[in-house]
Chains A and B, each alone.
Chain A
Amino acid sequence: MTLKSLAIAGAIAALGSAAWAEDVRIGMITTLSGGGAGLGIDVRDGFMLAIEQSGAENVEVIIEDDERAPEVAVRLSDEMIQADDVDIMTGIIWSNLAMAVVPSATAQGVFYISPNAGPSQLAGRGCHPLYFNVAWQNDALHEAAGAYANSAGYGNSFILAPNYPAGQDALTGYKRTYGGDLAGELFTDLGQTDYASEIAQIRASGADSVFFFLPGGMGIAFVKQYADSGVDLPLVGPAFSFDQGILQAVGADALGIVNTSQWNRDIDNATNAAFVESFVAAYDRLPSLYASQGFDAANLILSALESAHPDDEDAFRAALAAAEFDSTRGDFAFGSNQHPVQDIYVRRVIQEGDIFTNEIIGTALEDHGDVYAAECSY
Chain B
Amino acid sequence: MTFILFAEQVLNGLQLGVMLFLMAAGLTLVFGVMGLINLAHGSLFMVGAFAAAAVAGATGSFLLALAAALAAAAAAGAIVEVVVIRRLYNRDHLDQVLATFALILIFSEGTRFIFGSFPLFLDTPDWLSGPVTLPGGIQYPIYRLALIVVGLVVALGLYLLITRTRLGIQIRAGENDREMIAALGVDISKLYTIVFALGAALAGLAGALVGAIQSVEVGMGEPILILAFVVIVIGGIGSIRGALVGAILVGLTDTLGGLLLPSFFRTFMEASAASAVGSGLASMSIYILMAVVLMLRPTGLFGAKA
Contacts and interface: CB of A to CB of B under 8 A. Distances in A.
B42 interface: no
Interface in B1-22: 1-2, 4-5, 8-9, 12, 15-16
B12 A246 contact: no
A9 to B, nearest CB: 41
Contacts of A224: 123-124, 212-214
Contacts of B210: 193
A187 B139 CA distance: 24
Contacts of B163: none
Interface stretch (A84-92, A138-146, A197-205, A362-370): A197-205
Contacts of A250: 121
Interface string A168-189: 0001000000000010011111
A161 B12 CA distance: 20
Contacts of A251: 121, 123
Nearest to A250: B121
Contact of B143 (A188, A228, A248): A228
Interface of B: 1-2, 4-5, 8-9, 12, 15-16, 108-109, 112, 117-121, 123-124, 129-131, 139, 141, 143-144, 210, 212-220, 223-224, 255, 258-259, 262, 271-272, 275-276, 279-280, 283
B217 A35 contact: yes
B203 to A, nearest CB: 15
A187 B220 contact: no
Contacts of B283: 189
A41 B121 CA distance: 19
Contact of A186 (B118, B121, B262): B262
Given A229-B141, A245-B118, A248-B121, A220 B215 contact: yes
Decide if the interface of chain A is mainly helix, strand, loop or mixed.
helix
B214 A34 contact: no
A137 B37 CA distance: 44
Contact of B279 (A187, A230, A248): A187
Contacts of B139: 203, 229-230
Given A33-B109, A193-B214, A249-B120, A187 B271 contact: no
Contacts of B12: 194, 196-197, 200
A186 B123 CA distance: 26
Nearest to A219: B215
Interface string A77-107: 0000000000000000000000000000000
Contacts of A245: 118-119
Given A220-B119, A230-B130, A248-B118, A197 B9 contact: yes
A37 interface: yes
A186 B279 contact: yes
A33 B112 contact: yes
Contact of B130 (A34, A182, A228, A248): A228
A251 B144 CA distance: 19
B300 to A, nearest CB: 24
B218 A221 contact: no
Given A38-B118, A200-B8, 5 more contacts: A188-B279, A189-B279, A197-B9, A197-B255, A249-B216
Closest 7 CB pairs of A and B: A230-B131, A220-B215, A217-B215, A249-B119, A196-B12, A204-B5, A221-B214
A33 B108 contact: yes
B45 to A, nearest CB: 12
Interface of A: 32-35, 37-38, 41, 163, 171, 182, 185-189, 191, 193-194, 196-198, 200-201, 203-204, 216-218, 220-221, 224-225, 228-230, 245-246, 248-251, 253
Given A187-B275, A197-B12, A34 B213 contact: no
Contact of A163 (B2, B217, B280): B280
Nearest to A220: B215
A35 B117 CA distance: 9
Given A37-B112, A245-B118, A249-B121, A228 B213 contact: yes
B255 A196 contact: yes
A193 B215 contact: yes
A221 B219 contact: no
A201 B210 CA distance: 21
Nearest to B117: A37
20 contacts: A33-B109, A38-B117, A38-B118, A163-B280, A187-B280, A191-B223, A194-B16, A196-B15, A197-B255, A197-B258, A201-B5, A203-B8, A217-B215, A218-B215, A220-B214, A221-B214, A225-B141, A246-B118, A249-B216, A251-B123
